[in-house]
């Protein structure tokens, strides 16, 4: 909980920090408090001493403690955020995509093509849209990320304590994620593990590319064959580590790229599938096993495949 008091100026805020924010970095706290304000501006007001903790100057990386009082100066919200308009139909579809919700957590079935957050030329992503359509919600933070073209389960925390708990659970491998992917070729039933280190690279264009590299970070994905189709295999992928583009690169490394993958896929197969009406990445975060802070049985959340994925599978069954 955050308790606010007005300072000497009409818009200066003095925020009392309680245990739910204990351990959070100051810069991240301010980004949540000052939604729409550019990061560069947030760092500037910290550097100039306009933001203070317990009446003293402070560094951005300072970790808040219960009992701290944070002074937040008046800051103008950026026009782009202020003018962000979410179409009513999109807002309704987003609410309908919620798979699970309680007082601490939301799990939503993100559609393909929607980024989890704005930036890189995007006015908004999933988290900005959720905040806009739920202005009464004090806090909404992404627990993890999902590629823009990947659909399926995304966790959003409604409380700081839940965010911290799930981040620790992710680091401790107690959150289990299961994906469905349609790969090109016949994946052997016996092939159950891809263990290949991954290196993240940034091209001159700014595009991120991930490659298999012995000097990269250790990366492991477990696979299980679900069904064979003419020219394709439906697999379940369980990432043991959580690297950028891990499943996509591991599939390509194994010799079975994911259908519709414009970055790591098979260009000719993708082109042919597009002619037949399939125009997205066939990668879906289908299932989550989420531990709970009270120690009771974990939550089991399943996101159904999107209609365009099931219709493509039905088409393949008829070949």
pTM surpassing 0.75?
yes
| CA dihedral sign, ordered 115, 118, 119, 121 | positive
pLDDT of residue 96: 95
pLDDT of residue 83: 54
CB 302 within 8 A of CB 286: yes
pLDDT of residue 123: 66
pLDDT of residue 169: 95
Q: How far apart are CA 276 and CA 291, in angstroms?
A: 41
Name the residues annotated as catalytic: 147
pLDDT of residue 213: 96
pLDDT, averaged per 10 consecutive residues of the chain (319 residues), comes to 52 85 85 79 92 94 91 72 70 93 97 84 80 87 94 95 93 95 97 95 82 96 97 98 96 98 97 96 98 92 97 95
Two tokens, residue 133: 């359509």
pLDDT of residue 317: 94
- Hey, what domains does the chain have and what are their CATH numbers? 2-74 (3.10.290.10), 86-164 (3.30.2350.10), 173-317 (3.30.2350.10)
Two tokens, residue 97: 């995509």
pLDDT of residue 84: 63
pLDDT of residue 231: 96
Q: How far apart are CA 301 and CA 286, in angstroms?
A: 8
Torsion, Cα of 98, 102, 107, 109 (10° steps) = -10
């Amino acid at each position: 909980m955050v308790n606010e008091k007005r300072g000497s100026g009409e818009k200066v805020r003095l925020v009392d920090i309680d245990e739910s924010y204990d351990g959070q970095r100051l810069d991240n706290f301010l980004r949540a408090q000052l939604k729409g304000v550019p990061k560069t501006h947030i760092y500037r007001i910290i550097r100039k001493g306009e933001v203070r903790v317990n009446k003293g100057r402070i560094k951005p990386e300072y970790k808040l403690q219960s009992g701290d009082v944070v002074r937040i100066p008046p800051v103008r919200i950026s026009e782009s955020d202020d003018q962000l308009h979410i179409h009513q139909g999109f807002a309704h579809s987003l609410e309908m995509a919620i798979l699970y919700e309680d007082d601490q957590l939301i799990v939503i079935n993100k559609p393909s093509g929607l980024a989890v957050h704005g930036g890189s030329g995007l006015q908004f992503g999933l988290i900005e849209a959720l905040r806009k359509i739920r202005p009464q919600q004090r806090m909404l933070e992404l627990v993890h990320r999902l590629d823009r073209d990947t659909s399926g389960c995304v966790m959003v925390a409604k409380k700081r304590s839940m965010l911290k708990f799930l981040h620790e659970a992710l680091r401790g491998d107690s959150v289990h994620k299961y994906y469905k992917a349609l790969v090109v070729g016949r994946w052997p039933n016996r092939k159950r593990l891809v263990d290949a280190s991954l290196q993240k690279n940034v091209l001159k264009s700014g595009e991120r590319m991930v490659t298999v590299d012995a000097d990269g970070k250790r990366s492991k994905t477990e696979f299980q064959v679900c069904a064979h189709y003419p020219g394709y295999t439906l697999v379940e992928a369980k990432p043991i580590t959580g690297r950028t583009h891990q499943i996509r690169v591991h599939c390509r490394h194994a010799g079975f790229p994911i259908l519709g993958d414009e970055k790591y896929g098979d260009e000719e197969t993708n082109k042919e599938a597009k002619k037949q009406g399939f125009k997205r990445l066939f990668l879906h975060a289908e299932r989550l096993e989420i531990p709970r802070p009270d120690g009771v049985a974990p939550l089991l959340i399943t996101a159904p495949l999107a209609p365009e994925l099931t219709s493509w599978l039905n088409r393949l069954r008829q070949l």
